[in-house]
Chain A
Amino acid sequence: ELEDGLDEAFSRLAESRTNP
């Protein structure tokens, strides 16, 4: 679950950096 959460968090980070 933690791993899934981290995967998701990196996706959100990349998304937020590309489309702030």
Chain B
Amino acid sequence: AGVGMPMGAYSPPKTVWLPAMKGKGLEISGTFARRAGVIQMEMTLTNKAMSVMTDFAIQFNRNSFGLAPAGPLQVLTPLSPNQSIEVTLPLNTVGPVMKMDPLNNLQVAVKNNIDVFYFSCQYPISMLFVEDGKMERQVFLATWKDISNDNEAQFQIKDCHLSSDAASNKLQGSNIFTIAKRTVDGQDMLYQSTKLSNGIWVLAELRVQTGNPTFTVCLKCRAPEVSQCVFQSYEAVLKN
């Protein structure tokens, strides 16, 4: 990104979701990304079997946020032994919903000409942070006041060597928006909001003290079960 350009949303490195041992020679590694508002599952399919693989298809089990493939898995040519291909599957969030444990767990079935294989993976909840998640200042103040203290969760992020402005810019790249910043007793307090694809708002206070690499994040949400996942995204975004 150039000067003044927003950084892209954080996307974790690919990990192996289906080892070849469990996929009769099919290995799948993958990650999730949000690019220009589109959630994508990015996978590498590798044929470690001795015969050609064809007829790929994918299905998701119902999940917490209704993630579903927005189209078929596009593997247009047969996958030869020792061959790898990169596949990008656009997702939407209008599929069937069922609360998962952990909340961001996704159960996937992939078939080819050999068999059907099942695996679970976890997506960073930041994939679901929408581009219009900047709350009006007045609404933020009223909502912050309105949400009970019981729905506030506090977390710490250690070893974070960023200024509050750098942190704010990084978070904005993942659709976590800073609404106000105040400095009290040498501590920067950033008030931030983010909105999930299903309309859940998360309000945050990020505390950054110059020279102290430990940040404190306080999250307030009417659905406090999302706070742990949102915190994990804060940590991943700020540390990558």
Residues of chain A touching chain B, judged by Cβ–Cβ distance below 8 Å, are 2, 6, 9-11, 13-15, 17-19
Contacts and interface: CB of A to CB of B under 8 A. Distances in A.
Given A17-B189, A18-B187, A11 B182 contact: yes
Interface in B188-226: 189, 191, 205, 218
A15 B184 contact: yes
B150 interface: no
Interface residues of B, number: 14
B85 interface: no
Nearest to B205: A17
Nearest to B142: A9
Contacts of A9: 141
A15 B191 CA distance: 13
Interface of A is mostly: helix
A10 B185 contact: no
B141 A10 contact: yes
B138 A14 contact: no
20 contacts: A2-B138, A6-B137, A6-B138, A6-B141, A10-B180, A11-B182, A13-B141, A13-B191, A14-B182, A14-B184, A14-B189, A15-B182, A17-B184, A17-B189, A17-B205, A17-B218, A18-B184, A18-B185, A18-B189, A19-B185
A12 B234 CA distance: 25
Contacts of A2: 138
4 A-B pairs closest in CB distance: A14-B182, A10-B180, A18-B184, A14-B189
A2 B141 CA distance: 13
